[in-house]
Amino acid sequence: MNLVLYNLFPDRLNLYGDRGNVIALQKRCEWRGIHLKIVDIKSTNDMNLSSVDIIFIGGASDREQGLITKELLKIKKDFKLGVEDGISCLAICGGYQLLGNFYVTSEGTKHMGMEICDFHSSAEKDRRVGNILIETNEFGKVVGFENHSGRTYHSYKPLGNVIIGYGNNGEDGTEGLCYNNVIGTYLHGPILPKNPSLTDHIIRAAIERKYGRKELIELDDTLEYETKKHAENICLTV
């Protein structure tokens, strides 16, 4: 089996080791004999959304996010069609905010989003920083690290509910967003190496869309779950 992953603007959208998410997807495919072709996208002119299976959008500073927005708005219609067709997408922090209608910086600058989902984000002067632990229905507990001034508000299904940390906005107890095969989240860290069930969900969704239902070969995740448990304990003891 072969899959194609677009890593959007990795030279600009790579805060806090977010490229580790791409590596996690690559390795967990490789260990199963699945060839994952990774294409680093540096211009929307290089994008052919009819041939992609997974899209990764990392985090960025407000400045970088503003620059990238201009590029992504060029392909927002095709991106939306791909999402409705079931393309898998993981969007982190700034990438998560870009899925919405707009993002307002703490200085009041408004960056338009791709309008993939109907929500908005706005930044405050103070940042939400620290380890975060959430509870999800599909993946159990999920651990990560958050560092964001943005507050995101939406009515979609969240990725999970906050146990420790701030999440979407520090008010409603939710973190992230799930829509079709799209996951948006504020969790850096990167999120996927420490949460293998989430990584496998993204791979499985891409395979099912392309090839029909296929069972993934089970892997020995002893080390991954030991790491995850250690991260959980850190969250609970701080």
Stretch (H or E) spanning 40: strand 35-41
Question: Is the CB of residue 47 less than 8 Å from the CB of residue 79?
Answer: no
Q: Which of 29, 93, 117, 235 is catalytic?
A: 93
CA distance linking residue 194 with residue 211, whole number of Å = 27
Q: Which of 154, 188, 201, 235 is catalytic?
A: 188
CA distance linking residue 39 with residue 206, whole number of Å = 16
C-alpha closest to that of 110 among 65, 163, 155, 74: 65
DSSP 215: P
**Structure token pair of residue 47:** 């994008």
Strand partners, 122: 104, 151
What is the DSSP pairing of strand 102-104 with strand 120-136?
A: parallel
Whether 117 is catalytic is no
Whether 178 is catalytic is no
C-alpha closest to that of 19 among 225, 189, 221: 189
DSSP 43: S
CA distance linking residue 221 with residue 44, whole number of Å = 36
Tell me whether residue 127 is annotated as binding: yes
Strand partners, 131: 145
Binding-site sequence positions for substrate: 127
Question: Could you give the residue numbers annotated as active site?
Answer: 93, 188
